[in-house]
Chains A and B, each alone.
Chain A
Amino acid sequence: MLFHSWVFAIFFLVAYPIYLALRRTRLGLLWLLTASYLFYAWANPLYLVLIAYSTLLDYVVVARMTRSGHRKAWLAVSIANGLGLLGFFKYAGFITDNINALLSSLSIPYAAPAPGILLPVGLSFYLFQSVSYAIDVYRGRIERETSLIRHAVFVSFFPRLLAGPIERAGNLLPQLRQTPRLSAEDVTEGLSLFVVGLFKKVALADYLAIYVKQIYDAPGDFQSPALILATFLFGWRIYFDFSGYTDMARGVARMMGIRLMLNFNNPYLATSLGDFWARWHISLSSWFKDYVYIPLGGNRRGAFNTYRNMFLTMVISGLWHGAAWTFVIWGAVHALGRFATRELERTTFYRERIPKLVKQLLIFAFVTFAWIFFEADSIGQAWLIITRIFTSGFADPRCPVLALVLVFGVWLYQFAYESRFRWVLESRGVRFGAVVLMILYLAIFAPASDQAFIYLQF
């Protein structure tokens, strides 16, 4: 069920008043669970089996962990279950393809059959959330959740179920334990978040997608300007798409009195790759920091180990996004970029002499370049795009001026937001005008979009 659909509108118009009526009673959580499962089952009722299994297993495992002496073993069960499910549903095809390619290169006449498994929507997100809960209980950072219903709501809370944010138990569970104190401000701010997210998704992301798809579907047919502009717009498209989803998820949750974590913080204003990852998909990057990078040793054992840990974390993060070598390379490219900017930041010249705007543009250019690997169907296609960007001649890119105006408008807004001119954006006229214009634009001009969110496939 997509947030930007009438189906969701009706679902929410039914689920929300019931939630408001029941939230102070013992049935409140049960209703939240029912609504979440209904929301999830809309795409495919079979998905419920997997999420129910995963929820139940982690609930039992964590209970056993706190009661028995084999804490590590029970944690291992939880992690193995999470990774096993992820491996089976997400990476089976990738692994089979690579085994077959290896066998073929060794001239061994055998090919393993393609598993043909459908990846359940949101699997990567709720498994990571569930596993982190088990780890946090193991580390003693949080108390075990004794209520199965509450634990199930924590795993399946519908606004964030499909594509995050990957909430920490330490943030979400305490909110579920108390009766949400819903204020008018929660509703108005939730609505504000939702409208901004809806605009990002429908008016911007889906718009840019038309041009990007046209170019990336046949990169060999286009010259350098079109490929550069399509890559530039893809960077914004994925930002609008994913941060739009997050805004809507946070908005819906906020209207229910639940505060989900900030997941995007104007990432294209980052001045270093480290800064970029502190602003982009914050819930995932902090997850990798806490549960991969630091357990690997973090930056505690010298430069080599620090860079090794960074590299491994980024490559695993890349692979999390998709079962393809292009994602691995994307992660590796980001790791190399992080090494470079980290070293540059140690120099006085870079820190003090290079203007902030130049750093921001450099980081944006680098991130945009890396998106080529993210969006391309294969390494071959990514390479084709890169070579054509640098070697093909000039041809009219036929890129919609309106799309560029909208993108630069948003970028300018973000620059202003992080500058001393923020007061302009905070003025009533600008805020009010922005909301009214966004809604009118959505109602009049935006397509009847049924494009799914990019991150649902992860």
Chain B
Amino acid sequence: MVKKESKPKSASAATGGPDVPFGSNCVRLSRREWIAAAIILLAAFCFGPALWERIEKFEPGPDYRLPYASGYDYWLYGRYCRWAHKNSDALVIGDSVVWGHYVDTDGTLSHYLSRDSADLRFANMGVDGAHPAALAGLLRYYGRAVTGRKVVLHLNPLWMTSKKQDLQTEKQFRFNHSRLVPQFFPRIPCYWAPYSKRLSVAIERYLPFFAWTSHLRISYFDSMDLPAWTVEHPYANPLKAVTLVLPEDKRGKQDEIIGRGERAAAPGGMDWVELEGSLQWRFFRDSVKILKARGNTVFVLVGPFNEHRMGAEDLAVYRKIQGGIETWLRQNDVPYFMPPALPAALYVDASHPVAEGYASLAAQLIRNAAFRSAILGRSESAPAD
């Protein structure tokens, strides 16, 4: 049945093993060749991403924020952190409230803070969908450049309004930025990724090269890997897709605003989690600790949450949670501001203000003594309205 017509070259007898052919190709390197290959590959892995930074232009303007399409581009976030470290006076870090989900780049909190503080430049370091668990990971692994800066860290209480938002449900569901959350400890009940995937995530976030390859996919291949992209664009030249021009995204998601007034004001039942047992609160505290450990001056902005949506019971629980947050911040010497809720008309939903809301919030912050002291570096009393 089996008839050998083409016998491949044997490569074994010399070392004493049975006479088994090496293979059916010539791709075999000697020890020296492997060493040379390893040096070249190691150089590519170590210096490739840095070299790429010299080739790919990245010139964020004063109101720059990570484009919506690049929300999962953690390498670009790290690059932006390095840029902001050099070119900004203070960084505003948080989720989509800081990012400005429903507003343009010139309608965000950082924009109004820069405008109203006159001589300080605030960088919008928000990432859409970055809940505290993800944010802690983002800062830990990709935000290493954020050192010795003034940081406004936003806490969105939305993430504690239900067990699901707090990632505490045992039922599996897909949540944003799962690659940023702890893969093993502490355990996140709703995160059911197989151990092999968790392990690969845990390894890859220590290797910048892989974050860079992810950047290439997100920036030039519609967030797909090359094979999937060529299936979508069968006749396109992948090399031509690498235009070296990063995605731009200046507009917010105004088109998602539907019946804003009604939705913003409608009370909705909330199932607040206990602050002490909250995973998101735990991760938020981790973020504060990470930033402080890196020599940053951290100022925490809590909310303002859309209290107009809350019934009396929800409001009472929220007040209790605010009290707990306040206590912890005080105990840890973290300056903070808990502004009162904005007028209902200035919200799009439970937590996102419209541009006028951000303007109002920025004005409140600039009048706030703790903010003035910690971020603006001014100890004089706040100007009158």
A116 within 8 A of B: no
Tell me the B235-249 residues at the A interface (CB within 8 Å).
Answer: 235, 238
- B213 in the interface, Cβ–Cβ < 8 Å? yes
B250 to chain A, nearest CB (A): 30
Q: Give the docked Cα–Cα distance between A430 and B29 (Å).
A: 11
Query: Which chain B residue lies CB-closest to A410?
Result: B25
Are A431 and B27 within 8 A (Cβ)?
Answer: yes
What is the 8 Å Cβ interface bit string for chain A, positions 202-223, against chain B (1 contact, 0 not)? 0000110011001000000000
Q: Are B25 and A7 in contact (CB under 8 A)?
A: no
Q: Which residue of A lies closest to B34 (CB)?
A: A188
In this complex, the member of B5, B16, B21, B200 whose beta carbon has the largest number of chain A beta carbons within 10 angstroms is: B5
| Chain B residues near A444 (CB-CB < 8 A) | 213, 216
| Docked pose: A368 CA to B16 CA in angstroms | 39
Q: Are B1 and A277 touching (Cβ within 8 A)?
A: yes
Q: Which residues of B contact A434 (CB under 8 A)?
A: 27
In the bound complex, residues from chain A placing their C-beta under 8 Å from that of B31 are 184-185, 187-188
Task: State the CA gap A301–B8 with chains docked (Å).
Answer: 32
- Which of B38-46, B64-72, B76-84, B118-126 is found at the contact surface with chain A? B38-46
**Interface pair A275/B5, CB less than 8 Å apart:** yes
Q: Is the CB of A430 within 8 A of B200?
A: no
Binding site secondary structure of chain A: helix
| CB neighbours of A257 from chain B (8 A) | 17
Closest to A417 in B: B25
Stretch at the interface among B184-192, B220-228, B253-261, B374-382: B220-228
Q: Which residues of A contact B28 (CB under 8 A)?
A: 188-189, 192-193, 431
Contact assessment for B230 and A402 in the assembled complex, using a CB-CB cutoff below 8 Å:
yes
- Measured in the bound complex, the distance between the Cα atoms of B50 and A240 in whole Å is 34
Q: Is there an interface contact between B24 and A430, defined as CB atoms closer than 8 Å? A: no
CB distance from A226 to the nearest CB of B (A): 11
What residues on A are CB-neighbors of B29 within 8 Å? Answer: 188, 191-192, 431-432, 435
Asked if B197 lies at the interface with its beta carbon under 8 angstroms from chain A, I say yes
Interfacial chain B residues near A10, Cβ < 8 Å: 199
Do A432 and B5 touch (CB < 8 A)? no
Within 8 Å CB of B209, what residues of A? 443
The reply to whether B231 and A430 contact each other, CB–CB distance below 8 Å, is no
Stretch from A81-89, A134-142, A258-266, A386-394 that touches the partner? A258-266
Partner of A278, one of B3, B21, B203, B235: B3
Which of A6, A417, A425 has the largest number of chain B CB atoms within 10 A? A6
CB neighbours (8 Å) of B59 from chain A are none
Bound Cα distance A260, B200 (Å):
29
Inter-subunit contact B33/A432 (CB<8 Å): yes
Tell me the bound Cα distance from A270 to B15 in angstroms. 31
Most buried by A among B28, B37, B199, B210: B28
- Contact in complex: A265, B24 (CB < 8 Å): yes
Evaluate whether A207 and B227 lie within 8 angstroms (CB atoms) in the complex, with A175-B18, A440-B44 already known: yes
Contact of A426 among B26, B210, B227 (CB under 8 A): B26
- Is the CB–CB distance between B234 and A285 below 8 Å? no
**A432–B23 CB distance below 8 A:** no
Instruction: Confirm or deny: B169 has a beta carbon within 8 angstroms of a beta carbon on chain A.
Output: no
B23 adjacent to A250 (CB under 8 Å)? yes
Q: Taking the complex as formed, is A289 at the interface, i.e. its CB lies under 8 A from any CB of chain B?
A: yes
Q: Give chain B residues whose Cβ lies under 8 Å from the Cβ of A293.
A: 1
Please, which residues of chain A bring their CB within 8 A of the CB of B3? Answer: 274-275, 278
- CA of A293 to CA of B11, assembled, Å: 31
Please provide the chain A residues from 416 to 443 with a CB less than 8 Å away from any CB of chain B in the complex: 417-418, 422, 425-426, 428, 430-432, 434-436, 438-440, 443
User: Can you show 5 pairs from A to B with CB atoms below 8 A apart?
Assistant: A264-B24, A266-B24, A403-B230, A422-B26, A428-B33
Ranked 10 nearest A-B pairs via Cβ: A289-B1, A400-B230, A447-B225, A207-B227, A445-B226, A259-B20, A425-B26, A192-B28, A6-B200, A7-B196
